[in-house]
Amino acid sequence: MRLLKYCICCLLIASLSSCYTVRFQVHNGVPETEDSDSEDPLAGQLFREKKMVVNRKMLQGNDFFTIKDCESGSLNTIEYKTTFGGLLLYVITLGRNKEVKIRYVCTKEGSTDF
Amino acid sequence: MASTNTQNRQRWNTLHKNGPFSLKLFHDTKLNRDLSKFESYNAAATEIRRLIRLADNANERFRPMGSKWSLSSIAHCKDRMHYTPRLNLKFAVRDKDIHANSPYKSENVFLFQCGNVIKEISLALQKKQKSLKTHGASNGQTIAGCISTGVHGAAVDVGSVQDYVIGLNLITGTKPEDVIYLERASKPALNDDYIENFKCKIIRDDELFNAALVGLGSMGFIHGVVLEAEDMYLLHRCVRKIKKETALKLANTLNFGNFDPHFPVNPLDPNPPDYRGVRPYHFKVYINQYNDEATLPVEFIYKRDYFPNYKDIYEDPVPNMAQFIYTDLINTLIKFAEKVPGSIPALINLLKNSIMPKENKPVMGKLWEIFWDAQYKGRAFACSFGVDHTHSEKALKVLSKVTVDDGPIPGIFAMRFVKQSQAMLACTKFPFTCMIEIDGIQWKESDGLISLEEYSERMINALKQNNIPFTIHWGKNAKWDHPGLANHMFGNDVNKWKQLRAQLLSPRMQKVFSNKFLDDIKLS
């Protein structure tokens, strides 16, 4: 029973400390917008989501993931998120697989052209 | 051709969730950027006429909308709404495009398509070393949305956004001749040859232009806005705590002749300013109605000539990290306050360090840097009244009393001051208007809390009982169906506005470009 409690405590601590979200935003750009009903911090912005499990080989720093759907050709905001599930996957696979979850907002097309 | 994606919808909401409202169809039009700019603009006009025709044929209403920042239902229409932010072409004009009798310099005249948001206009103008003259407290609204609702900012001697608009391209119906270019006869901006590029019928008429400027989304589809910019400048901002009686005297008089804001001197400034006796570009007073403190935080902003190394000398106004850690906390506290209404004053006093501006070091930046992105996108309300600035202290007292006695209400007041607008239905109609606004988080009516509608009704009645003439910001929350409200606010100008609208729009198009908001205020 004590071991079970200990495990639950460890899981709770791990889940709390492993979930976080980081956002980066250019200060002098205009995001692509859309009409949505969400109350998310990105509400009103057209965000795309990419969620994938990548192999350790892909995380050595030499590879790029290509973003093909920004018609303006540039990004305004990028959000990186980690979850407890992602951490669990990383631990269970002994670091071989990692979940990558990002959301990004493109710069509004034609926003600074004259 | 421009292309439109049309969705069936059941509901629609504002950015700050003041709805939801019912909706049938949602149109989202995208430019064809393979064409030349003029061709692309004109193709969009053709597409807009097609969408208006569809609405007319279906005997339904149609309404363009921008960034949906209005908290009132002014942008909503139950039948067909049209999303405009993707319509964002920009045009600079040359000397030869300017009208022979124009008072404007060509280098300052620009045409922006309706869906350009304020920030992108600022960034585009910056490339030409130009700036907007003023804008609201943030920068996400579309230019057409701003002028339709009278967005005003707080530039004391400048005016509101619509006051630097010098031409309008309106689409008032389904036919090619319903594409109109409207500007003042007394101050024309563009010549006929240039306007020919947009295939417009030209109308030069001061009264019609002033009526259409703040058109409440009901003077046809604003497709393009011609505005006058100015040379790029800097704004020097500082929040000072000053005696309440001094702040209110400045509000009542706008006389800064004997006033010194005591801006800290920066020895690195190439041209150290002396603001003693100078009326600021921007003046805003914050008031926590639940706390009778002897001093009030006041935001002073002074205009400066541009110099390139300002960021090396002064604090950067754009934060490196925008933190909004209190959003969830505030929402939780509001839930608590709905159960225990008496706790609201204490909660606001508890949070005052987070919600009231603190005295800080002066910052300097361009207009778009000082009034940067608004990050809060949660549920919010705002009630905003315009009164003659000589009535500002009296009106504040009346509105605060309603808030404390009939409330409590989870929000705080601020006062901003704006020069008179020439637009017929501008909320900034007084020689200098004091816009008194209470901003806060939405709440639900409960045993001890009146509804937002009831609160607004009581504020309207209190101003009437105290014989304080007032207006209400069209994009803010109010009891808009209060009997005779528009007539009370604008008198004969209401009938004049309706007559001018009938001059611009056929009876069928008046129906198409109406909505419940217009019905409520008896302007449809």
3-class state of residue B366 by DSSP: coil
Cβ-nearest to B117 among A30, A43, A113 = A30
Residue in A closest to B380 by C-alpha: A39
Residues of A in contact with B26 (CB under 8 A): 35
Q: Does B35 touch chain A (CB under 8 A)?
A: no
Give me B423's structure tokens: 């637009």
Short-list B370, B360, B355, CA closest to B411 = B355
Interchain contact, A112 vs B15, CB within 8 Å: no
pLDDT digits (tens, 9 = 90+) for A12-25: 555 555 678 888 99
Short-list A88, A90, A91, A65, CA closest to A78 = A65
Residues of B in contact with A114 (CB under 8 A): 90-92, 124, 127-128
Burial B243-259 (b: 16+ CB within 10 A, else e): ebeebbebbbebebeeb
Residue B326: the pLDDT is 47
Interchain contact, B15 vs A44, CB within 8 Å: yes
Our CA-based measurement puts residue A63 at a distance from the nearest CA of chain B, in whole angstroms, of 29
Q: Residue-wise pLDDT tens for chain B (524 aa)?
A: 889 999 999 999 998 889 899 999 999 999 999 999 999 999 999 999 999 999 999 999 999 999 999 999 999 999 999 999 999 999 999 999 999 999 999 999 999 999 999 999 999 999 999 999 999 988 999 999 999 999 998 999 999 999 999 999 999 999 999 999 999 999 999 999 999 999 999 999 999 999 999 999 999 999 999 999 999 999 999 889 999 999 999 999 999 999 999 888 888 888 889 999 999 999 999 998 888 889 999 999 999 999 999 998 988 888 766 555 445 555 566 666 666 666 777 777 666 666 677 777 888 999 999 988 876 667 888 999 999 999 999 999 999 999 988 878 888 899 999 999 999 999 999 999 999 999 888 887 776 788 999 999 999 999 999 999 999 999 999 999 999 999 999 999 999 999 999 999 999 999 999 999 999 999 98
DSSP chain A: -HHHHHHHHHHHHHHHHH-EEEEEE-TT--B-B------STTTTB-EEEEEEEEEGGGGSSS--PPP---TTS-EEEEEEEE-HHHHHHHHHTTTSEEEEEEEEEEBPTTTT--
Q: Does B84 touch chain A (CB under 8 A)?
A: no
3-class state of residue B29 by DSSP: strand
| Rg of chain A in Å (alpha carbons) | 18
Distances (CA, A) of B336 to B351, B371, B450: 14, 32, 15
- Whole-angstrom distance, CA of residue B470 vs CA of residue B199: 41
Residue B325: the pLDDT is 44
Give me the half-sphere count of Cα atoms (radius 13 Å) on the Cβ side of residue A112.
14
- Whole-angstrom distance, CA of residue B270 vs CA of residue B85: 40
Residue A79 C-alpha from the chain's centroid: 5
Residue in A closest to B30 by C-alpha: A109
Residue showing tokens 């002064």: B314
Cα end-to-end distance, chain A, whole Å:
70
- Whole-angstrom distance, CA of residue B348 vs CA of residue B137: 22
Strand pairing report for B25-30 and B80-83: parallel
DSSP A47-70: EEEEEEEEEGGGGSSS--PPP---
Short-list B66, B102, B107, B96, CA closest to B197 = B96
Interchain contact, A37 vs B11, CB within 8 Å: yes
Residues of A in contact with B123 (CB under 8 A): 28-30, 111-112
Residues of B in contact with A110 (CB under 8 A): 31, 33, 88-90
Interchain contact, A41 vs B33, CB within 8 Å: no
Interchain contact, A37 vs B13, CB within 8 Å: yes
Residues of B in contact with A43 (CB under 8 A): 15, 377
Domains of chain B (ranges plus CATH)?
Answer: 3-231+501-520 (3.30.465.10), 234-365+376-479 (3.30.70.2520)
Interchain contact, A112 vs B119, CB within 8 Å: no
Residue B375: the pLDDT is 65
Interchain contact, B379 vs A111, CB within 8 Å: no
3-class state of residue B365 by DSSP: strand
Distances (CA, A) of A64 to A49, A57, A79, B61, B225: 17, 12, 17, 49, 42
- Whole-angstrom distance, CA of residue B462 vs CA of residue B517: 23
- The amino acid that residue B105 corresponds to is K
CA angle B305, B310, B311 (to 5 degrees): 150
Residue in A closest to B13 by C-alpha: A37
Interchain contact, A112 vs B89, CB within 8 Å: no
> In this complex, how many residue pairs, one in chain A and one in chain B, have their CB atoms less than 8 Å apart?
64
Cβ-nearest to B120 among A37, A40, A111 = A111
Give me B111's structure tokens: 């045409």
- Whole-angstrom distance, CA of residue B381 vs CA of residue B371: 20
DSSP B401-423: HHHHHT---SEEEEEEEEEPP-S
B residues 430..459 contacting A (CB < 8 A): none
- Whole-angstrom distance, CA of residue B121 vs CA of residue B105: 18
Q: Does B349 touch chain A (CB under 8 A)?
A: no
- Whole-angstrom distance, CA of residue B517 vs CA of residue B148: 13
Q: Does B311 touch chain A (CB under 8 A)?
A: no
- Whole-angstrom distance, CA of residue B134 vs CA of residue B136: 7
A residues 55..114 contacting B (CB < 8 A): 108-114
- Whole-angstrom distance, CA of residue B520 vs CA of residue B78: 14
Residue in A closest to B372 by C-alpha: A27
Report the 10 Å Cβ neighbour count for B59: 10
Our CA-based measurement puts residue B263 at a distance from the nearest CA of chain A, in whole angstroms, of 27
Report the 10 Å Cβ neighbour count for A54: 13
Dihedral pair phi/psi, residue B10, rounded to 5°: -100, -30
